[in-house]
């Protein structure tokens, strides 16, 4: 972390946690501090393996930052939205359709959610090196801290969990770490994201109170810094949507498409969505802080068939190995398509699209 003299930042006051009785998603909580030793990794690996195979999600605590440090990062996370003029945001808009990259701003109403209603989500994406990208003036005093935050996510959270996933497949510990380098060519990034309520109840009804459609993530792992607005749901194996809990100073970590393909379908990229919060949080904005771990661009998304586990249970491929996309090809195709291309409706719930020969499902 930087020195003790830090630039002042306006305080972001999050809403209070919900007191509503909702259907909570119950899946394992792991103490990441145990991953610092071989004995701890041996203890955690089967827990992580089974959770990511069954649910595709984990709760994580003891990740190495204090509550005060996390609170400051949430203060900084609000700066791109509350302290930057609209004209400057437009100048730093990401070239999403042109490049298949989210670097920069995504404005509200960029995606179509359903029935002609467009999204109310704004986000700002920082490529992990941080300093190689132009940033809004208000955010620039905090760039050294943001770089430290990227490094913390990458080396103290992403890599330890990737080691546990490799051990779960009886592969060498560094198998997935080597595919997700910090200095390598790739699109791993920090996303600061603000969800706003729809402007009127008619639009809420048209989208069935869904703010972000059911989807899977693109990369190896996604790290979500827990916040109190109850809106994230995951689709459980029994077909029911359940709400993800808020864990103070905790993380929610989930598997993405790339890891599912690496693991031959053993680890599960689970469908998740964001919906209107419960009644006592209705009208609240939701500030999200994410670290999306994507494989190096040149990595081909094929199963590790040498895994003794996969040899025992079998491999489920999304496409033939010779047709498998690289991480870059998959990321660009997914980024350009999400919320911007036509989907084929299969029934009242499921819509599909085919990207690079892989069938991708979306859920209402």
Q: What is the pLDDT of residues 70-108, one digit of tens each?
A: 999 999 999 999 999 999 999 999 999 898 899 999 999
Q: Minimal CA–CA distance to 261: which of 209, 309, 211, 325?
A: 325
Q: Show contacts of 171-179: CB within 8 Å, 24+ apart.
A: 171/304, 171/306, 171/307, 173/41, 175/304, 176/220, 176/259, 176/262, 179/220, 179/262, 179/295, 179/296, 179/299
Cα gap 9→56, rounded to integer Å:
35
Q: Does residue 317 sit within a domain?
A: yes
Q: Output the pTM of the full model.
A: 0.93
CA distances from 244 to 73, 201, 232, 254 (A): 21, 24, 6, 12
pLDDT at 361 over 80: no
pLDDT at 255 over 80: yes
Q: Does residue 178 sit within a domain?
A: yes
Are the beta carbons of 233 and 242 closer than 8 angstroms? yes
Q: Does residue 91 sit within a domain?
A: yes
Cα gap 155→157, rounded to integer Å:
6
Q: What is the CATH number of the domain that holds 235?
A: 2.60.120.330
SS3 string of 57-108?
A: EEEEECCCCCHHHHHHHHHHHHHHHHCCCHHHHHHCECCHHHHCCCCEEECC
Cα gap 338→336, rounded to integer Å:
6
Over residues 69-80, the pLDDT tens digits come to 999 999 999 999
Q: If pLDDT is split at 50, 70 and 90, which confidence band does 353 have?
A: low
Q: Does residue 355 sit within a domain?
A: no
- What is the predicted pLDDT for the residue at 337? 82
Domain boundaries, position 137: 29-322
Cα gap 261→7, rounded to integer Å:
43
Cα gap 293→187, rounded to integer Å:
8
Q: Does residue 251 sit within a domain?
A: yes
pLDDT at 288 over 50: yes
- What is the predicted pLDDT for the residue at 1? 46
Q: Average pLDDT, stretch 139-152? A: 98
SS3 29: strand
Q: If pLDDT is split at 50, 70 and 90, which confidence band does 138 have?
A: very high
Over residues 292-347, the pLDDT tens digits come to 999 999 999 999 999 999 999 999 998 999 999 999 999 999 998 876 655 555 55
| Number of domains within the chain | 1
Q: Does residue 154 sit within a domain?
A: yes
SS3 165: helix
Over residues 200-227, the pLDDT tens digits come to 899 999 999 999 999 999 999 999 999 9
- What is the predicted pLDDT for the residue at 340? 60
Mean pLDDT, the chain, rounded, equals: 93
Q: Does residue 146 sit within a domain?
A: yes
């Amino acid at each position: 972390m930087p020195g003790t003299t830090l630039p002042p930042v306006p305080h972001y006051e999050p809403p209070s946690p919900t007191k509503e009785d909702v259907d909570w998603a119950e899946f394992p909580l792991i103490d990441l501090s145990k991953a610092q030793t071989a004995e701890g990794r041996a203890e955690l690996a089967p827990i992580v393996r089974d959770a990511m195979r069954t649910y595709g999600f984990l709760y994580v605590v003891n990740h190495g930052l204090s509550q005060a440090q996390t609170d400051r990062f949430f203060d900084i996370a609000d700066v791109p939205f509350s302290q930057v003029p609209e004209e400057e945001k437009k100048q730093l808009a990401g070239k999403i359709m042109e490049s298949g990259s989210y670097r920069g701003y995504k404005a509200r109403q960029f995606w179509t959610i359903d029935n002609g209603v467009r999204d109310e989500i704004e986000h700002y994406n920082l490529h992990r090196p941080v300093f190689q990208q132009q940033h809004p003036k208000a955010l620039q005093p905090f760039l050294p801290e943001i770089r430290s935050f990227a490094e913390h996510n990458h080396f103290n959270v992403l890599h330890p969990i990737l080691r546990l996933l490799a051990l779960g497949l009886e592969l060498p510990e560094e198998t997935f770490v080597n595919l997700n380098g910090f200095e390598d060519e790739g699109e791993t990034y920090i996303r600061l994201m603000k969800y706003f309520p729809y402007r009127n109840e008619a639009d809420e009804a048209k989208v069935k109170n869904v703010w972000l459609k059911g989807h899977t993530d693109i990369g190896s792992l996604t790290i979500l810094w827990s916040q109190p607005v109850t809106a994230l749901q995951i689709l459980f194996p029994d077909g029911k949507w359940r709400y993800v809990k808020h864990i103070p100073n905790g993380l929610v970590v989930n598997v993405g498409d790339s890891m599912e393909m690496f693991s031959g379908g053993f680890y599960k990229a689970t469908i998740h969505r964001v919906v209107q919060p419960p009644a006592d949080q209705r009208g609240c904005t939701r500030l999200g802080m994410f670290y999306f771990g994507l494989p190096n661009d040149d990595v081909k998304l094929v199963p590790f068939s040498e895994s003794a586990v996969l040899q025992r249970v079998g491999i489920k491929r999304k496409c033939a190995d010779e047709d498998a996309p690289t991480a870059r090809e998959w990321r660009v195709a997914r980024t350009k398509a999400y919320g911007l291309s036509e989907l084929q409706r299969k029934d009242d719930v499921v819509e599909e699209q085919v990207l690079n020969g892989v069938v991708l499902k979306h859920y209402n």
